[in-house]
């Protein structure tokens, strides 16, 4: 499995391009901005993009959905509880980032639910619904690697003071998530550096005692 991280936009969002070892088929996770640069790397790696995945519907994670969708054959997937955030600039918060040009994404091609799985070549992606940062936040698991979006960071967790956020709900989601992890599990968050579960347990106060 090949994973390419691209840090995009003013809020330094981690966009991930994930492909099979032969770089024939892959996905894009959270194309939040800089769509042309993402497309350039896709072309450079000669990847056939099968899916465009959003871990949740905030503007800094969906901002380049249209550019990537127009430039590839990828199908756009998001959890059903965040669907309206794609096309509602108040819900996705883009109205506050740029009132003169609020962001609207294409509609989803498919809605995700907890427990869904999908195949990309020899990679099986599992969907875990992790509400708390948003109502429809998800984590994507492939093997022992977790793309955690804004649910879990290396040393913190996602904000819960936006519409649809809930601290108690997010903590419950994280407790459920960590039950799927072992010490070697790789955590690839929506912002900041990657880590593994062993390091996160030492450095992230929200994981102390888990």
- Kindly report the CATH number assigned to the domain that includes residue 39: 3.60.15.10
Report H helices in the chain: 35-45, 59-62, 65-71, 94-97, 167-178, 197-203
Global confidence as pTM: 0.96
Rounded to whole angstroms, how far apart are CA atoms 76 and 93? 20
**Residue pLDDT, tens place only, 27-63:** 999 999 999 999 999 999 999 999 999 999 999 999 9
- Whether residue 82 is predicted with pLDDT greater than 80 in this model: the reply is yes
Rounded to whole angstroms, how far apart are CA atoms 186 and 194? 7
Q: Using a pLDDT cut of 70, give the percent of the chain over it.
A: 100
Binned at pLDDT 50, 70 and 90, residue 101 comes out as: confident
The per-residue pLDDT for 23 is: 72
- Please provide residue 44's backbone torsions phi and psi, each rounded to the nearest 5 degrees: -60, -40
The per-residue pLDDT for 22 is: 82
Centre a 10 Å sphere on the Cβ of residue 55 and count the other Cβ atoms it contains.
Answer: 31
Q: Using a pLDDT cut of 90, give the percent of the chain over it.
A: 91
State the total domains in the chain.
1
Binned at pLDDT 50, 70 and 90, residue 157 comes out as: very high
The per-residue pLDDT for 210 is: 74
Domain assignment of residue 103, given as a range:
2-207
The per-residue pLDDT for 77 is: 98
- Whether residue 100 is predicted with pLDDT greater than 80 in this model: the reply is no
């Amino acid at each position: 499995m090949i994973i390419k991280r691209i840090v995009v936009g003013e809020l330094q969002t981690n966009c991930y391009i994930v492909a099979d070892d032969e770089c024939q088929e892959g996905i894009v996770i959270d194309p939040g901005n800089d769509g042309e640069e993402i497309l350039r790397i896709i072309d450079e790696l000669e990847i056939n993009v099968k899916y465009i995945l959003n871990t949740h519907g905030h503007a800094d994670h969906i901002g380049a959905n249209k550019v990537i969708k127009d430039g590839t054959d990828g199908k756009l997937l998001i959890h059903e509880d965040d669907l309206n955030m794609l096309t509602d600039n108040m819900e996705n918060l883009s109205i506050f980032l740029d009132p003169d040009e609020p962001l609207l994404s294409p509609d989803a091609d498919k809605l995700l639910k907890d427990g869904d799985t999908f195949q990309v070549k020899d990679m099986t992606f599992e969907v875990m619904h992790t509400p708390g940062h948003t109502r429809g936040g998800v984590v994507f698991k492939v093997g022992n690697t977790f793309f955690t979006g804004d649910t879990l960071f290396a040393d913190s967790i996602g904000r819960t003071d936006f519409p649809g956020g809930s601290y108690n709900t997010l903590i419950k989601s994280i407790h459920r998530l960590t039950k799927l992890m072992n010490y070697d599990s790789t955590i690839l968050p929506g912002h900041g550096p990657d880590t593994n579960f062993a390091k996160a347990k030492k450095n992230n106060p929200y994981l102390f005692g888990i």
